[in-house]
Structure formats: C-alpha cells, structure tokens
Amino acid sequence: VAHFANGDVGALVNVSGAAAMKSAHNPDGAQKFLAYLVSERAQKLMAQGHISFEYPLRPGVQGDPINKPFDQLHPPALTIQQLGDDSQAGRLLRQAGLL
C-alpha cells in the first residue's frame, strides 16, 4: 500500500455506498445484506482482510495498521465535476471485450 502526499492524484479517496431499491425483487434479503455489510463481522473482514485495505465504517472496528489514519490522508482537491463520469472507461472496457 502506497500513501501519496500533498494532494497527489494517487491519494484520491473513493467513497462507496449501498442501498436497497424500492423495486428490489427481494427487499427483505436486500435489507439483510445491507445489515450484514455494516455488521462487526463484515467490517472486520473488509478492514482487516489484507485484500482491499478498506477503512471501517463501524465504530470500534480497527482498520489495517498498514493504512494511515484517515485524518492523515491528503487527497487531491477534486470535485465530482472534475472527475467526470465513467462513460469513457465503460467504452474502453466494451472495446476491449471485457464488458
């Protein structure tokens, strides 16, 4: 794991989320899955699994010690508008036959 400093683009922080849609075919299963994602067990697996080096969302769950504390990260000052959408990446993936 590399920690870029001083607003380097390599220090970009990606935020992800999850939600259950009203139109879900299995709303109870979707809610159970979301509850599992924020459970202590799942948060520990994601934060301490030495695979994705996630920062835990759940209070009390320790992150991987290889990660800098979140408040010591120095991501670039980019807006969502500057990042754009992923349409070009999608086109490239389709051209390469990966999608």
Cα 22–chain centre separation: 23
What is the secondary structure of 56-79 as a DSSP string? Answer: P-STT----TTSPPGGG-------
* CA 52 – CA 1 distance, rounded (Å): 10
What is the average pLDDT value for the chain, to the nearest integer? 89
The domain limits of the chain are: 25-73
Q: Is 22 helix (H, G, I), strand (E, B) or coil?
A: coil
Nearest to 6 by CA among 75, 68, 72: 75
Whether this model's pTM surpasses 0.85 = no
Q: Each residue of 22-41: pLDDT tens digit?
A: 899 999 999 999 999 999 99
